[in-house]
Amino acid sequence: MGLNFPIYLDHHATTPTDPRVLDAMRPYFTERFGNAASASHVFGWRAEAAVEQARERLAAAIGAHEPREIVFTSGTTESDNLALKGVARAYRTRRDHLITVATEHSAVLESCGALEREGFRVTVLPVGRSGLVDPDDVRRAIGDRTLLVSVMAANSEIGVLQPLAAIGGICRERDVLFHTDAAQAVGKVPVDVEASGVDLLSMCAHKLYGPPGVGALYIRRRRPRIRLEPLFHGGGHEWGHRSGTLPLALIVGFAEAVDLCLHDLEAEAARLRALRDELWTRLQAGLDDLRLNGDPEQRLPGNLNVAFPGAEADAVIASLRDVALSSGSACSSARPEPSHVLRAIGLSEALARASLRFGLGRGNTREEIEWVADQVIAQVREQREKRAGGRPGGGRRRSDG
């Protein structure tokens, strides 16, 4: 298939909108436009019908009981904020304790920090070197005043898949609500809110080849029915959960993107897994002293996060102008401090700064992977030799993390 530059390997940050999604959206910007809240004419009726059809498709994609459990938002960050702050404030007179994990997205961790400043108590659980949280740690952290547990389904940096079903079962036993940020999971691995015991789930379109600017929050309506205090007021849209005119075309594109991902989910997962394993094999063959960050098995098919001791990840990225890579999570890559996720799994500051995230996705080819592997190997060797004073093979040292 050849090489097409630049090569995009940052699919955890965002994904290109699939042309088929764009085709589905295009009419809703022009001849099929309308406000779904306009109940007095055909433009509003058609818009409402399109929104409800999209809601049905998204509900089916995650195993929700009914379409009304899907509430549209601007993206996962808003969904996370609405889930945590909305639930905490709605139940504050009954319970005031939340539990989350050290490797969560900043939208969850900073929401918890904001709630702490309002008087709530938050427990942040550690993870092991694999990046996985121990369900027994969740069980031990739950107390009589615990309201909510929030655990990310798939980590945006190291790609690990958390044991949602085990955690969900514990939450059900203890009558505690369970939220998951599933932005990186939906459309890439099977997601079922019933099977995993999830009560609230955050997701978005731009991580799965849909348009940016639209997301959703699943809110369970039965056994139990979840109450939320809204973040926005004015209009009472989405059954009072989220006021604001719905972005019709984006919602249509969101549903189309999810359907396309689910249609090819198994085949695409197998293809990406093979490419990822080829990349890892080539890196190991060309370089000594590498560290795979995150569990080798319980991870997203298209994720590879590797520490290259003796190298600076940002320098490697700067030298590869034809490749899009990340040295940390997409939302924190502009910050100078090392990744909180990599530090949480035990990496030193030096190893965290030496780590690269490869995010493979739709459209990546074997030829691209082979070329990128060769370029990364060459750049890491060059950096190691410079650090070792120019001696050939310099920088080949062991690191315990």
Residues noted as catalytic: 331
DSSP state of 131: S
Cβ atoms within 10 Å, residue 374: 13
Phi, psi of 221 (to 5 degrees): -110, -5
Q: Which helix (H) or strand (E) holds 60?
A: helix 42-62
Q: Residue 179: beta bridge partners? A: 150, 200
Q: Which helix (H) or strand (E) holds 372?
A: helix 366-387
Instruction: Provide the terminal-to-terminal Cα distance of the chain, rounded to the nearest Å.
Output: 38
d(CA 9, CA 197): 33
| The residue to which tokens 């309506």 are assigned | 221
Handedness of CA 8, 12, 14, 17 (dihedral sign): positive
Mark out the alpha helices in 76-222 (DSSP H runs).
Answer: 76-90, 106-117, 135-141, 164-173, 193-196
d(CA 203, CA 188): 12
Classified as helix, coil or strand, 147 is: strand
Whether 156 contacts 227, CB under 8 Å: no
